[in-house]
Amino acid sequence: MVAFGTLDTPVGVIGVVSDGTAITRLGWRAPAPEGSGSRPDPLLSEALAQLRAYFAGELTTFDLPIDLGAQTATTHAVLTALHETVGYGTPVTYGQLAARSGTDVPARGIGSIMGANPIPIIVPCHRVVAGDGLGGYSGGNPGEGLATKRWLLELEGALPASLF
């Protein structure tokens, strides 16, 4: 059985899924998964508490087990490199992440992999930027992807606060 919870954040309501041993999904517009129960799940409670602390500016490193699910070996390598080597407030370019992952994925391919990330924020795809700007972002409420990415990077001190 899986557990599902939501958290109202400054960038919209996010849903979090736990299978009791790992966080398996996080996303906006995420409905409760089929088969999710209302039983208490300590891991889900901890994930929601850590996310609350992150959005309050009080947490810089998540300490949660994650499961990326079924992925290609390349996608798994890139997302694992992102999760393990890109710290709070430290953006990397698509090309830098490709090099860190040890794959031969071109920068454009890294962008596609970021869009397939099942656990954004915890696996911080918002920290991956283009060499000449923010790049893209599919997280956030509909039509607010880049604004969400900017907000998250501002929260982490990686970008100066927007004047407008």
Domain 2-55 coded CATH 1.10.760: no
**Residue ranges of domains in the chain:** 2-55, 73-155
Catalytic residue among 125, 129, 152, 155: 125
Structure tokens at 129: 């930027």
Give DSSP secondary structure letters for 38-63. Answer: -S--HHHHHHHHHHHHHHTT--SS--
CA dihedral sign, ordered 129, 49, 26, 78: positive
Spell out the per-residue pLDDT of the chain, length 164, in tens: 789 999 999 999 999 999 999 999 999 976 677 766 667 789 999 999 999 999 999 999 999 999 999 999 999 999 999 999 999 999 999 999 999 999 888 888 998 999 899 999 999 999 999 888 888 888 888 889 899 999 999 999 987 776 55
Active site residue 125: yes
Rounded distance, CA 5 to CA 3, Å?
7
- The CATH class of the 73-155 domain is mainly alpha
The pTM for the full model equals: 0.91
